């Protein structure tokens, strides 16, 4: 058996449905009524206290590749702009210091020190940094500069159900480096569980787990994914396939290839390149994977799900429903400027606004 295998079936008790969430024509699931209720009724304070008073904030959004602001963070930009904040966006081409940061590691000594000084100089007057992903080498120097300069740095990434409709804010990181890893989730209330129930009903679109297919479904990830690279023992998907075949011998395996992965893999079992993961999961006896978002979808569906990689699903295997409710609460609707709830609750050091 692979390390970490065991009973991981999520709890079966669900919260009471108040009203189903409706999917709007523009895409994101409309959840305003639930978030309004949570804003009024939640006893959980923001992650940190507010950091400043009395002057215009200067917000920096660091999107290294420059391809995430338009599809995911346009609402974040508008939120701060509408409130009088000065918003800047840095990409890998914005400053010499960010290009230096891409090439600087701790062994480079003087060059790294110079890049750090340049970045700290550019951070003067910045009140808060929102950084996409934050897990690569070129992020580390900027995060170090933020820490040395006393500038809060929040991490933003894609959401979950589905990724294209949501993004998340975290004061520390993503998945295995996120604040959820050590969060006891004791703040999750009945209202949060009811929001989860409503989202489950809308997102699954009538699907119910049957588990009659007799196969173990294994979603593959992109080998270069930081969640794979930094938080699993796996070096590439071919070696992961071989490991699963060796250690899960006697089981019928069905591998689901990542939709953006164009590699050809060898397997003694069936490998599916296309199709909807949830449709495959409906008939699966179990789902086993590393730390893919697909595992969260399987848990949402109610399939016994096992995460082999480090991440919050493995960390909270004993309270999957509460974890899913927390993830739903963390999701920020893409494109909406009315996101004060999430900015105040999940940003490092609280809201950057006065």
Encode pLDDT of 201-229 as tens digits.
999 999 999 999 999 999 999 998 888 99
Q: Do domains 25-186+331-346 and 191-319 have the same CATH topology?
A: yes
CATH number of 191-319: 3.40.50
Per-residue confidence in pLDDT tens, the chain, 354 aa: 444 443 333 333 333 222 333 333 333 333 444 344 444 444 444 443 333 445 578 999 999 888 999 999 999 999 999 999 999 999 888 765 555 555 555 555 667 778 788 888 889 999 999 999 998 877 888 899 999 999 999 999 999 999 999 999 999 999 899 999 999 999 999 999 999 999 999 999 999 999 999 999 999 999 988 889 988 999 999 999 999 999 999 999 999 999 999 999 999 999 999 999 999 999 999 999 999 999 999 999 999 999 999 999 999 999 999 999 999 999 999 999 999 999 999 999 877 775
Show the beta-strand stretches assigned E in the chain.
22-23, 29-30, 58-62, 86-90, 128-132, 153-158, 166-170, 215-219, 252-256, 270-272, 286-289, 305-307, 331-333
Q: How far is CA 50 from CA 47, 317, 350, in A?
A: 10, 33, 5
H/E run at residue 208: none
**Strand pairing partners for 155?**
131, 170
The pTM for the full model equals 0.81
Rounded to whole angstroms, how far apart are CA atoms 303 and 275?
18
pLDDT score of 94: 77
Q: Hey, where are the domains in the chain?
A: 25-186+331-346, 191-319
Residues 260-271 have pLDDT tens digits of 999 999 999 999
Omega prior to 162 cis, within 30 of 0: yes
Q: Are 60 and 130 a contacting pair, CB within 8 Å?
A: yes
| CATH architecture type of domain 25-186+331-346 | 3-Layer(aba) Sandwich (3.40)
């Amino acid at each position: 058996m692979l390390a970490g295998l065991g009973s991981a079936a999520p709890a079966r008790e669900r919260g009471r449905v108040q009203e189903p969430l409706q999917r709007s024509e523009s895409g994101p699931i409309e959840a305003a009524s639930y978030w309004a209720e949570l804003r009024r009724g939640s006893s959980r304070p923001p992650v940190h206290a507010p950091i400043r008073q009395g002057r215009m904030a200067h917000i920096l959004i660091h999107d290294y590749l420059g391809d995430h602001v338009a599809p995911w963070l346009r609402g974040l930009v508008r939120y701060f702009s509408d409130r009088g904040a000065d918003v800047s966006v840095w990409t890998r081409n914005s400053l010499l210091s960010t290009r230096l940061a891409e090439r600087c590691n701790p062994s480079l000594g003087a060059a790294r020190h110079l890049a750090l000084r340049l970045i700290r100089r550019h951070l003067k007057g910045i009140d808060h940094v929102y950084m996409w992903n934050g897990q690569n080498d070129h992020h580390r120097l900027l995060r170090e500069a933020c820490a040395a300069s006393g500038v809060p740095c929040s991490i933003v990434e894609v959401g979950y159900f589905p990724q294209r409709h949501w993004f998340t804010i975290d004061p520390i990181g993503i998945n295995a480096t996120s604040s959820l890893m050590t969060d006891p989730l004791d703040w999750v209330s009945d209202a949060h569980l009811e929001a989860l129930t409503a989202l489950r009903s809308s997102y699954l679109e009538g699907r119910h787990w049957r588990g009659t297919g007799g196969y173990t479904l294994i979603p593959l990830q992109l080998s270069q994914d930081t969640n794979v690279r930094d938080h699993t023992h796996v070096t590439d998907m071919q070696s992961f396939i071989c490991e699963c075949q060796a250690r899960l011998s006697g089981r019928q395996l069905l591998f689901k290839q990542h939709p953006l992965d164009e590699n050809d893999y060898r397997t003694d079992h069936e490998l599916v390149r296309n199709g909807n993961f949830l449709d495959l999961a409906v008939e699966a006896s179990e789902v086993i994977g590393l730390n893919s978002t697909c595992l969260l979808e399987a848990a949402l569906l109610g399939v016994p799900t096992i995460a082999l990689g480090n991440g919050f699903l493995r960390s909270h295997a004993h309270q999957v429903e509460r974890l899913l409710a927390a993830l739903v609460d963390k999701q920020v609707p893409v494109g909406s400027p009315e996101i004060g709830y999430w900015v105040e609750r999940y940003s490092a050091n609280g809201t950057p606004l006065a």
